[in-house]
Homo-oligomer: A and B are copies of this chain.
Protein backbone atom coordinates (compact mmCIF):
# COMPACT_ATOMS: atom_id res chain seq x y z
CA UNK A 1 0.00 0.00 0.00
CA UNK A 2 1.36 3.32 -1.10
CA UNK A 3 -0.55 5.64 1.20
CA UNK A 4 -1.17 5.73 4.92
CA UNK A 5 -4.58 4.80 6.44
CA UNK A 6 -5.39 8.43 7.32
CA UNK A 7 -4.89 9.45 3.68
CA UNK A 8 -6.96 6.56 2.33
CA UNK A 9 -9.74 7.42 4.77
CA UNK A 10 -9.80 11.07 3.74
CA UNK A 11 -9.84 10.07 0.05
CA UNK A 12 -12.86 7.85 0.76
CA UNK A 13 -14.61 10.70 2.57
CA UNK A 14 -14.07 13.15 -0.31
CA UNK A 15 -15.29 10.55 -2.81
CA UNK A 16 -18.71 10.56 -1.14
CA UNK A 17 -19.24 14.13 -2.36
CA UNK A 18 -21.07 14.55 -5.69
CA UNK A 19 -18.88 14.93 -8.77
CA UNK A 20 -15.69 13.95 -6.93
CA UNK A 21 -13.99 10.89 -8.44
CA UNK A 22 -10.90 9.08 -7.14
CA UNK A 23 -8.40 11.37 -8.91
CA UNK A 24 -10.03 14.60 -7.75
CA UNK A 25 -10.37 13.20 -4.23
CA UNK A 26 -6.64 12.46 -4.11
CA UNK A 27 -5.84 15.93 -5.43
CA UNK A 28 -8.01 17.48 -2.71
CA UNK A 29 -6.31 15.33 -0.05
CA UNK A 30 -2.85 16.45 -1.15
CA UNK A 31 -4.07 20.02 -1.05
CA UNK A 32 -5.52 19.62 2.44
CA UNK A 33 -2.24 18.12 3.65
CA UNK A 34 -0.39 21.15 2.28
CA UNK A 35 -2.69 23.54 4.19
CA UNK A 36 -1.88 24.94 7.63
CA UNK A 37 -3.14 22.87 10.57
CA UNK A 38 -5.32 25.78 11.74
CA UNK A 39 -6.94 26.07 8.32
CA UNK A 40 -7.82 22.36 8.24
CA UNK A 41 -9.30 22.62 11.72
CA UNK A 42 -11.37 25.62 10.61
CA UNK A 43 -12.63 23.60 7.64
CA UNK A 44 -13.64 20.74 9.94
CA UNK A 45 -15.42 23.14 12.30
CA UNK A 46 -17.28 24.82 9.42
CA UNK A 47 -18.60 21.41 8.32
CA UNK A 48 -19.86 20.39 11.74
CA UNK A 49 -21.23 23.88 12.53
CA UNK A 50 -23.18 24.15 9.28
CA UNK A 51 -24.73 20.73 9.79
CA UNK A 52 -25.59 21.50 13.43
CA UNK A 53 -26.96 25.01 12.94
CA UNK A 54 -28.77 24.86 9.62
CA UNK A 55 -32.32 23.49 9.64
CA UNK A 56 -35.46 23.80 7.54
CA UNK A 57 -37.68 26.89 7.82
CA UNK A 58 -40.89 25.80 9.56
CA UNK A 59 -42.94 27.52 6.88
CA UNK A 60 -41.22 27.09 3.49
CA UNK A 61 -38.48 24.53 4.35
CA UNK A 62 -35.72 26.78 3.05
CA UNK A 63 -32.35 26.26 4.75
CA UNK A 64 -32.01 28.64 7.69
CA UNK A 65 -30.51 28.98 11.17
CA UNK A 66 -33.77 30.40 12.55
CA UNK A 67 -37.24 28.91 12.98
CA UNK A 68 -38.65 31.02 10.16
CA UNK A 69 -36.29 32.05 7.32
CA UNK A 70 -35.56 35.64 6.29
CA UNK A 71 -37.59 35.29 3.07
CA UNK A 72 -40.73 34.19 4.95
CA UNK A 73 -40.21 36.94 7.56
CA UNK A 74 -39.98 39.66 4.89
CA UNK A 75 -43.31 41.48 5.15
CA UNK A 76 -42.82 43.30 1.84
CA UNK A 77 -43.23 39.99 0.02
CA UNK A 78 -46.61 38.97 -1.43
CA UNK A 79 -48.12 36.35 0.92
CA UNK A 80 -50.75 35.37 -1.65
CA UNK A 81 -48.21 34.19 -4.23
CA UNK A 82 -46.37 30.89 -3.68
CA UNK A 83 -43.62 29.32 -5.80
CA UNK A 84 -42.99 25.59 -5.35
CA UNK A 85 -39.46 24.35 -6.13
CA UNK A 86 -37.62 21.05 -5.70
CA UNK A 87 -34.37 22.23 -4.09
CA UNK A 88 -32.99 25.25 -2.18
CA UNK A 89 -30.67 25.97 -5.13
CA UNK A 90 -33.74 26.28 -7.42
CA UNK A 91 -35.12 28.95 -5.10
CA UNK A 92 -31.79 30.75 -5.37
CA UNK A 93 -31.93 30.75 -9.18
CA UNK A 94 -35.38 32.36 -9.06
CA UNK A 95 -34.37 34.90 -6.39
CA UNK A 96 -31.47 35.97 -8.61
CA UNK A 97 -33.88 37.18 -11.30
CA UNK A 98 -35.28 39.74 -8.84
CA UNK A 99 -38.66 39.22 -10.57
CA UNK A 100 -40.48 37.09 -8.02
CA UNK A 101 -41.86 38.85 -4.95
CA UNK A 102 -43.92 36.04 -3.42
CA UNK A 103 -42.97 33.26 -1.02
CA UNK A 104 -41.62 29.76 -1.62
CA UNK A 105 -42.15 26.15 -0.66
CA UNK A 106 -39.22 23.80 -1.05
CA UNK A 107 -40.10 20.13 -1.61
CA UNK A 108 -36.53 18.78 -1.19
CA UNK A 109 -37.16 16.29 -3.98
CA UNK A 110 -39.77 15.23 -6.51
CA UNK A 111 -42.30 12.42 -6.70
CA UNK A 112 -40.46 9.25 -7.65
CA UNK A 113 -42.02 5.82 -7.02
CA UNK A 114 -38.70 4.21 -7.98
CA UNK A 115 -36.81 6.02 -5.21
CA UNK A 116 -39.73 5.73 -2.78
CA UNK A 117 -40.45 9.47 -2.79
CA UNK A 118 -44.19 9.89 -2.31
CA UNK A 119 -46.28 12.95 -1.31
CA UNK A 120 -45.55 12.28 2.40
CA UNK A 121 -41.77 12.35 1.91
CA UNK A 122 -42.04 15.66 0.05
CA UNK A 123 -44.20 17.12 2.85
CA UNK A 124 -46.93 17.87 0.33
CA UNK A 125 -49.51 17.68 3.17
CA UNK A 126 -47.70 20.67 4.74
CA UNK A 127 -47.88 22.46 1.40
CA UNK A 128 -51.64 21.77 1.16
CA UNK A 129 -52.11 23.05 4.72
CA UNK A 130 -50.23 26.22 3.76
CA UNK A 131 -52.35 26.67 0.62
CA UNK A 132 -55.54 26.19 2.69
CA UNK A 133 -54.73 28.52 5.58
CA UNK A 134 -51.97 30.86 4.37
CA UNK A 135 -54.05 33.12 2.15
CA UNK A 136 -52.42 31.75 -1.01
CA UNK A 137 -54.19 32.82 -4.20
CA UNK A 138 -51.69 31.76 -6.84
CA UNK A 139 -49.19 28.91 -7.02
CA UNK A 140 -46.34 28.86 -9.54
CA UNK A 141 -44.85 25.40 -9.88
CA UNK A 142 -41.16 25.45 -10.80
CA UNK A 143 -40.24 21.76 -10.62
CA UNK A 144 -37.74 20.41 -13.15
CA UNK A 145 -38.79 19.66 -16.74
CA UNK A 146 -38.42 15.88 -16.44
CA UNK A 147 -40.65 12.89 -15.60
CA UNK A 148 -40.42 13.35 -11.82
CA UNK A 149 -40.84 17.13 -12.01
CA UNK A 150 -43.84 16.75 -14.34
CA UNK A 151 -45.53 14.19 -12.06
CA UNK A 152 -44.95 16.42 -9.04
CA UNK A 153 -46.36 19.46 -10.84
CA UNK A 154 -49.52 17.59 -11.89
CA UNK A 155 -50.02 16.21 -8.39
CA UNK A 156 -49.75 19.63 -6.75
CA UNK A 157 -51.92 21.28 -9.42
CA UNK A 158 -54.61 18.65 -8.83
CA UNK A 159 -54.59 19.36 -5.12
CA UNK A 160 -54.55 23.16 -5.47
CA UNK A 161 -57.36 23.61 -7.99
CA UNK A 162 -60.22 22.43 -5.70
CA UNK A 163 -59.07 25.12 -3.27
CA UNK A 164 -59.82 27.79 -5.87
CA UNK A 165 -56.11 28.59 -6.24
CA UNK A 166 -54.75 29.62 -9.64
CA UNK A 167 -51.97 27.22 -10.62
CA UNK A 168 -49.34 27.73 -13.31
CA UNK A 169 -46.06 26.17 -14.25
CA UNK A 170 -42.99 28.08 -15.43
CA UNK A 171 -42.52 28.22 -19.20
CA UNK A 172 -40.31 25.86 -21.15
CA UNK A 173 -38.68 26.50 -24.48
CA UNK A 174 -35.44 27.72 -25.98
CA UNK A 175 -32.96 29.17 -23.51
CA UNK A 176 -32.31 32.85 -24.18
CA UNK A 177 -29.14 33.20 -26.25
CA UNK A 178 -29.49 29.58 -27.36
CA UNK A 179 -29.36 28.46 -30.96
CA UNK A 180 -32.38 26.86 -32.64
CA UNK A 181 -30.03 24.55 -34.51
CA UNK A 182 -28.90 22.82 -31.31
CA UNK A 183 -32.30 22.47 -29.61
CA UNK A 184 -33.35 18.87 -28.89
CA UNK A 185 -36.79 17.67 -30.01
CA UNK A 186 -38.37 17.76 -26.54
CA UNK A 187 -37.30 21.35 -25.90
CA UNK A 188 -38.46 22.33 -29.38
CA UNK A 189 -41.83 20.62 -28.81
CA UNK A 190 -42.25 22.51 -25.53
CA UNK A 191 -41.22 25.75 -27.24
CA UNK A 192 -43.89 25.26 -29.91
CA UNK A 193 -46.52 24.44 -27.30
CA UNK A 194 -45.51 27.50 -25.30
CA UNK A 195 -45.70 29.94 -28.25
CA UNK A 196 -47.13 33.38 -27.47
CA UNK A 197 -48.74 35.92 -29.76
CA UNK A 198 -46.49 38.86 -30.56
Contact = CB atoms under 8 A, between A and B. Distances in A.
Interface of A: 1-7, 9-10, 12-13, 16-19, 24, 26-33, 35, 37, 39-54, 63-66, 70-71, 87-89, 91-92, 95
Task: Work out how many copies of this chain go into the complex.
Answer: 2
8 contacts: A6-B49, A10-B46, A13-B47, A26-B92, A27-B89, A32-B51, A33-B54, A44-B44
A44 B64 CA distance: 21
Given A18-B28, A19-B24, A43-B13, A2 B92 contact: yes
Contacts of A7: 50, 54, 63
Give 10 closest A-B pairs by Cβ, nearest first. A44-B44, A40-B51, A4-B65, A10-B50, A6-B50, A6-B53, A13-B46, A44-B47, A10-B46, A44-B48
